[in-house]
Chain A
Amino acid sequence: MTFSSRTWRAVALVSRIALGAVFAYAAWLKLRVPWQLFAGAIGNYKVLPYWAVAPLARTLPWVELLLGALLIVGRWVRTAATAVSLLLAGFFTLMVWAYARHMDISCGCFGPNGDAISWRTLLRDGSLLALSLAVTWISYARRRKAA
């Protein structure tokens, strides 16, 4: 299969837009409620001090929204896809860490009062991470081919 094949291009496009839409949707769910609720979800992981939790809760949803929008419109795709992969890898690591410690907390992925961390949320976020890594790989592979 080559990157010039129409099917492959369509799959790459749908994957990128789907990943962007998921990120934008997750951001919207956080931005529609006061930031303090998301701060509570971040704080429940007990890995950051309060002075770090508050600014992170205020900015992270905007970063997610920006990255989602960039993936949807197809601008700065490599940068956006790399950033999304790094963020998802960070989120996934934290979730695995919390799950291993039997912490009964919301993952905070889709808003402050979302699903509690379970094998289902791990499977969902692991799948998103795999999708993100694929989108990132495709974006760099295209650049190599174009060069």
Chain B
Amino acid sequence: MKLVALALAASLPVLAASLDADKSKIMGNPDAPVTIEIYSDFECPACRNFHMETLPQLVKDYVVPGKVCIVSREFPLAIVEHKYSREAANYATAAARVGKYPAVADALFKTQASWAASGKVWETVASVLTAAEQKKVQPLAKDPGVMSEVQADVARGQAAGINRTPTAIVKRGSKQYPLSDYGLKYDLLSSLLNDLLK
């Protein structure tokens, strides 16, 4: 809930989806000097940790002050252990169309163990949507446009050499730096952002 509130506060300055992503997937000012694209898989435990622990700190320290803009990208891993990753990504992307991406992402990560075991992805998504939003989101998740948006994220990540989640691509001007695993430890990420923002 705290993350959703922070995300809402941070997304207020979003004027246009100039970063080639639905504006609900963008946190912060798109004109911020540094952009971080975060590729994650809703069924990945490391992504959950990043979302629950590191992301709120990043939002508070860098996104809310307007220094950094965060773009969420889908990267459902095609592995047998992640049976519902793609479905979750489709629902989250569909929810972005009604401005509910942060709430849905939050719910999916929070209850990851539960829906990953039961397969009740829609029930998790629906729990943070109003009845009217549910009516829009459920069919949208099967819409070719939404599915191709998810696939476009995957293709974008693969083109950037991503093969694991979560991976963050930190961009400043024409330079970009991919970070994953230990590189996403908050102290290190914060140190990099501070250097890039000097």
Contacts and interface: CB of A to CB of B under 8 A. Distances in A.
A112 B178 CA distance: 9
Interface string A93-125: 000000000001100000011000000000000
B192 A36 contact: yes
Contact of A34 (B177, B181, B187): B177
Given A104-B164, A113-B178, A34 B185 contact: no
Contacts of B181: 40, 43-44, 105
Interface string A22-55: 0000000000011011011111101000100110
A40 B195 contact: no
A36 B191 CA distance: 7
Contacts of A113: 161, 178
B55 interface: no
- Contact-residue bracket for chain B: 10 to 19
B196 interface: yes
Contact of A40 (B161, B164, B179, B196): B179
A41 B180 CA distance: 9
A54 B195 CA distance: 14
Contacts of A33: 177
B57 to A, nearest CB: 15
B30 to A, nearest CB: 23
A39 B188 contact: yes
Contacts of B182: 39-44, 46, 53
The listed residue with most A CB atoms (<10 A of its CB), out of B183, B187, B196, is B183
Contacts of B191: 36, 54
Nearest to A116: B163
B187 to A, nearest CB: 6
Given A34-B177, A34-B195, A36-B195, A43 B183 contact: yes
A146 to B, nearest CB: 47
A34 B161 contact: no
B196 A43 contact: no
B183 A37 contact: yes
Interface in A38-85: 39-44, 46, 50, 53-54
A80 to B, nearest CB: 30
B178 A36 contact: no
Interface string B144-188: 000000000000000001001000000000000111111111011
B165 to A, nearest CB: 12
20 contacts: A34-B192, A34-B195, A34-B196, A36-B179, A36-B191, A39-B182, A40-B182, A40-B183, A40-B184, A40-B188, A42-B182, A43-B182, A43-B183, A44-B181, A44-B183, A50-B185, A50-B187, A53-B182, A113-B161, A113-B178
Given A41-B183, A44-B181, A44-B182, 8 more contacts: A33-B177, A34-B195, A36-B179, A40-B184, A40-B185, A40-B188, A43-B183, A50-B188
